[in-house]
């Protein structure tokens, strides 16, 4: 059994990074910043997508934890049961492929060609999709990295000098030019944007509060 994936997030108070790690840890760090009278926006970002995560900060720490997405609340239970589930013996018969039925609209000549392929239309379509994923995998990875960096930059760095030029360098996939344009930005913003856009070392699991 595959071990559940723990979402990684990062929280900023204005231009200063105050937490990196699990969503629970970031939610609590954001609460602390607000309770201590933060004067800058406190924003939580999904490291995988660069999207903002909206969390209800009202009430107690327990209330905040309960307001998190159901899958995140269940992480502890999932990890606790992962070890036991991993050693359960697999039953007899063919393994489940996890396929999902969806409607596909094709021209008649496409259906005719698929009907002649070994294994039928479904097998042929799966092979075509996998081949396309392999062929375009690197392009897709770069595009997604640029998009997640842009989401973060738009939310936090829109008022910083060189933002528009840095955005053009980002989508031109020009890391050297990007570095030149963001070098004067606050270090936390610069480093996080660069990591989202072009990779690099992962941040620490959590920052000291």
Q: What is the per-residue pLDDT across 20-48, written as a single tens digit (0 to 9) for each?
A: 999 999 999 999 999 999 999 999 999 99
Residue 194 structure tokens: 């660069």
- What is the rounded CA–CA span in Å between residue 198 and residue 196? 6
Task: Measure Cα distances from 2 to 5, 25, 74 in Å.
Answer: 9, 23, 15
What is the pTM assigned to this prediction? Answer: 0.68
What percentage of the chain exceeds 70 in pLDDT? 78
pLDDT in tens, 122-174: 888 888 888 877 777 788 899 999 999 999 999 999 999 999 999 999 999 99
For the packed helices 187-198 and 175-182, what is the interaxial angle rounded to 10 degrees? 170
**Judging by beta carbons within 10 Å of its beta carbon (0-12, 13-18, 19+), is residue 25 exposed, middle or buried?**
middle
User: Which residues are CB-contacts of 50 (< 8 A; sequence separation ≥ 6)?
Assistant: 147, 148, 149, 150, 151, 152, 196
For the chain, the average pLDDT equals 82
């Amino acid at each position: 059994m595959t071990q559940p994936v723990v979402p990684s997030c990062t929280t900023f108070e204005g231009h200063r990074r105050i937490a990196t790690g699990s969503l629970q840890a970031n939610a609590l760090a954001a609460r602390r910043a607000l309770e201590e009278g933060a004067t800058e926006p406190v924003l939580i970002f999904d490291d995988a997508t660069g999207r903002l995560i909206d969390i209800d900060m009202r009430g107690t720490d327990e209330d905040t934890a309960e307001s998190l997405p159901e899958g995140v609340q269940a992480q502890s239970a999932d990890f606790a049961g992962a070890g036991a589930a991993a050693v359960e013996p697999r039953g007899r018969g063919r393994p489940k492929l996890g396929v999902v039925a969806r409607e596909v609209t094709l021209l008649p000549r496409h259906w005719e060609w698929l009907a002649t392929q070994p294994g039928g239309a479904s097998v042929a379509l799966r092979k075509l999709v996998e081949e396309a994923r392999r062929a375009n995998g690197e392009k897709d990875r770069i595009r997604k990295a640029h998009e997640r960096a842009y989401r973060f930059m738009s939310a936090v760095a829109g008022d910083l000098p060189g933002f528009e030029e840095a955005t053009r360098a980002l989508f031109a996939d020009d890391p050297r030019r990007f570095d030149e344009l963001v070098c004067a930005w606050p270090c936390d913003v610069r480093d996080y944007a660069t990591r989202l856009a072009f990779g690099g070392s992962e941040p620490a699991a959590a920052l000291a509060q």
